[in-house]
Structure 1
């Protein structure tokens, strides 16, 4: 069953329950009010009948005349004066014992059968005690209640039908954004993963759903790009060392009697094999750092402590480098320095950035600044090295791309793309600012609550 139908059905059922309760409430109090008025009229006649029939004084004739002239006679009105203590009580119908028990207790008693009403009370004159009962019909009030009952029943069914129609329109209206999201998602295929859903301003569930889809598409696009880059670049990057190795093997085989040429060929093969190993390791790392973090366990990591580990690791590879860590902007709250991350991946990403800064800075100082504010932790790595040409900055995160001024330095163009994938895996971002001949500054931004 579609959600719109479920919402409509549920809305109609809830409306039916609420309307039935309201109708019962109206019926109960209307019934009670209508009969209360008629009972009071009967009770007034009980008192008047007792005054006229049981108490002999000079006002009785005046009471009788006033009743006949000014007091409307009720339909089928009857009076019954019964001497107290008699076992046989003659009334037009048998009344329940509770009716007489209430009279004997000294209260005004009431009883109704359909639209025929009874009211009675005990009176005592100077001689004996009597029970005075007055009965009458109330066809008008009863008819009004029947009309009200019919109106409530008809109104109930009309209201349920109306609530069903309104619920159908309302559910369709509320689900329009969801249908638009479904249409937009259906248009997105592997060929156009760059498309995104329109996210409306606000914090409702539809906006959150659209943003969630966009986040998922970001991960999918990154995974597809990683896979495509791996396939396209692997064939290109692996071909060169393999070709060189193949040529050197042939050269070594021909130079059977020349030990020097064989040694040079074998040295070349060894270098290219090492290069091939580095390329394969980088390619596998790049492929495995896509946007799927299922098999990447996370743990609580103090980022200031991690930076010291990174400094030690980079110094082992670049012993002449001078790395300075600035902790002057650290917050007092240690929780602002702790992230739940995959330690090995984050360490690899930042190590790549720091290592590049040391490699391209020609032993100039490399600064690392750690700052935490507004639930955002940022790590800034700055150097005074060769910098990056402005025309190359936009391509710096493309796999195997190397800036035009890095020919003198050994590298494969995989470190920064690998770092970017890892940072994006942790819902962070990387910013870069560089000027050729002046230096480069790279800022890693990570959310504290991942």
Structure 2
């Protein structure tokens, strides 16, 4: 069942329930009022007839004639008068005697002073009446034809109006729900046209602050992220293809030349050395790609624990110096720390080691003295790392681009690389809710600043 139909049915049920309760209250009130008014009428008729009988001394036959004549055209009240000893003093129609009074009933009415009850659909009142210091009991009974007819008419009209109202409400609910869901239908049709080939399409949006507008804006934001992701993926695949093609082509060419004819031992050694160098480039590229994939995992799937940054920096420095013995790394503290918590962060040791190693390697690779130093400082709940080198520096035009995957600036001719290191480092630093920034000046050097929030 569609939401539009569900809302229409739910709206109809709720409204029908309210209308039914309202109609029931009206019918119940009308029923109570009819009963109360007719009991009052019976009481007045009983007292009036008793006054005529006792005070006006109207004869019994006259009163009975009036009753008989009126009964043919009116809903006449049947009245009977008894004394305490159950002696009948007057009765409108003894032969009918609808109430069928008993001594117990008369005694009970006398003791209570007033009594009201139903006999089938006839209403009966009994009351105590005093005349010349003598107490009598009067009963009066009648069937409220007119009142019951009004109630039946009210019930019949209420049922008809209820059915008509429900039909009208259902039609109105269907119409308004259709109007309300028109933007959703338009959004659905638009979304069906969006695919991987036209992610530039967007849902219509307006300045209204309603839920549909918010949904449309949220969906458009998601499309923007997907579009950026697809574009990044395209560039990633393109760059990877290029990075892989170059060393592979060099390896294949070198080996094919070596197989064309007999070569000297020295030539074979040179060919093997070149092939090994290209293979090492491929190995570094594959390792970088694996690390980039790990850094792109869902953060909830990466294990974090309390990690001492100084220990990770030492491991990263040893790794860099082991890969190239000409590299030199210096680790220093601006001031001593009083608590291990100052030098510890909640992080992943392996990923942090990869990030620091990239920064060390970058600093050493682009410095003429192949040296990089890191200065550790503490500022309240901040842990600050400054990676400094005396290298060729980075131009201002390139600073805004260096954290993009596979980007290589004007310094690409100075040293080899694949443009993954800094983008991988930024991703790792962001995973640890830290920040990385850079200051640089051409031919002077660069400073990469990493700031962690400590516990």
> In the TM superposition, what is the alpha-carbon distance from 1:400 to its structure 2 partner?
2.4
Tell me which residue corresponds to 1:10: 10
Tell me which residue corresponds to 2:173: 167
Following the alignment from structure 2 to structure 1, what is the Cα–Cα distance between the partners of residues 16 and 143? Answer: 35
Tell me which residue corresponds to 1:78: 78
Q: Are 1:321 and 2:329 counterparts?
A: yes
Alpha-carbon deviations, 1:395-414, whole Å to 9, x = none? 43443221112422332112
Following the alignment from structure 1 to structure 2, what is the Cα–Cα distance between the partners of residues 327 and 187? Answer: 61
Alpha-carbon deviations, 1:204-250, whole Å to 9, x = none? 75466446645654664465345434432333222221222233334
Contact 1:226 1:286 in 2 (8 A): no
Following the alignment from structure 1 to structure 2, what is the Cα–Cα distance between the partners of residues 214 and 422? Answer: 28
Q: Are 1:297 and 2:301 counterparts?
A: yes
Cα distance, 1:211–1:324 mapped onto 2, change above 3 Å = farther
Q: Are 1:228 and 2:234 counterparts?
A: yes
> In the TM superposition, what is the alpha-carbon distance from 1:347 to its structure 2 partner?
6.2
Cα distance, 1:41–1:417 mapped onto 2, change above 3 Å = same
Following the alignment from structure 1 to structure 2, what is the Cα–Cα distance between the partners of residues 218 and 347? Answer: 33
Tell me which residue corresponds to 1:240: 246
SS of 2:28's partner is: helix
More off after superposition, 280-289 vs 132-141: 280-289
Contact 1:349 1:418 in 2 (8 A): yes
Following the alignment from structure 2 to structure 1, what is the Cα–Cα distance between the partners of residues 193 and 86? Answer: 94
More off after superposition, 194-203 vs 260-269: 194-203
Q: 1:311 aligns with which of 313, 316, 326?
A: 313
Unaligned runs of 5+ in 2: 64-69, 322-327
> In the TM superposition, what is the alpha-carbon distance from 1:79 to its structure 2 partner?
1.3
Cα distance, 1:314–1:215 mapped onto 2, change above 3 Å = farther
- Return the index of the structure with the highest Cα Rg: 2
RMSD between superposed Cα atoms in Å: 4.9
More off after superposition, 165-174 vs 363-372: 363-372
Alpha-carbon deviations, 1:15-37, whole Å to 9, x = none? 21222122112211221123212
> In the TM superposition, what is the alpha-carbon distance from 1:350 to its structure 2 partner?
6.7
Contact 1:79 1:135 in 2 (8 A): yes
What TM-score comes out, normalization by structure 1 length? 0.71
Tell me which residue corresponds to 2:324: none
Tell me which residue corresponds to 1:439: 446
Tell me which residue corresponds to 2:268: 262
SS of 1:120's partner is: strand
Contact 2:346 2:432 in 1 (8 A): no
Question: 1:112-131, aligned counterparts within 5 Å?
Answer: 112=118, 116-123=122-129, 130-131=136-137
Cα distance, 1:364–1:382 mapped onto 2, change above 3 Å = closer
> In the TM superposition, what is the alpha-carbon distance from 1:137 to its structure 2 partner?
4.8
> In the TM superposition, what is the alpha-carbon distance from 1:10 to its structure 2 partner?
1.5
Tell me which residue corresponds to 1:276: 282
Contact 2:116 2:126 in 1 (8 A): yes
Question: 1:23-62, aligned counterparts within 5 Å?
Answer: 23-50=23-50, 53=53, 60-61=55-56
Cα distance, 1:445–1:314 mapped onto 2, change above 3 Å = closer
Instruction: State the number of aligned residues.
Output: 420
Following the alignment from structure 2 to structure 1, what is the Cα–Cα distance between the partners of residues 206 and 374? Answer: 43
> In the TM superposition, what is the alpha-carbon distance from 1:311 to its structure 2 partner?
2.1
Following the alignment from structure 2 to structure 1, what is the Cα–Cα distance between the partners of residues 374 and 145? Answer: 102
Contact 1:83 1:131 in 2 (8 A): yes
Following the alignment from structure 2 to structure 1, what is the Cα–Cα distance between the partners of residues 127 and 170? Answer: 53
Q: Are 1:93 and 2:98 counterparts?
A: yes
Following the alignment from structure 1 to structure 2, what is the Cα–Cα distance between the partners of residues 298 and 159? Answer: 61
Alpha-carbon deviations, 1:169-206, whole Å to 9, x = none? 44234434533442442232112335555677798754
Q: 1:405 aligns with which of 403, 411, 422?
A: 411
Cα distance, 1:318–1:279 mapped onto 2, change above 3 Å = closer
Q: Are 1:155 and 2:161 counterparts?
A: yes
Following the alignment from structure 2 to structure 1, what is the Cα–Cα distance between the partners of residues 105 and 334? Answer: 96
Unaligned runs of 5+ in 1: none
Tell me which residue corresponds to 1:109: 115
Contact 2:316 2:353 in 1 (8 A): no
Tell me which residue corresponds to 2:325: none
Contact 1:99 1:111 in 2 (8 A): no
Following the alignment from structure 2 to structure 1, what is the Cα–Cα distance between the partners of residues 378 and 175? Answer: 55
Contact 1:310 1:351 in 2 (8 A): no
> In the TM superposition, what is the alpha-carbon distance from 1:318 to its structure 2 partner?
4.2
SS of 1:118's partner is: strand
Tell me which residue corresponds to 1:415: 421
SS of 2:276's partner is: helix
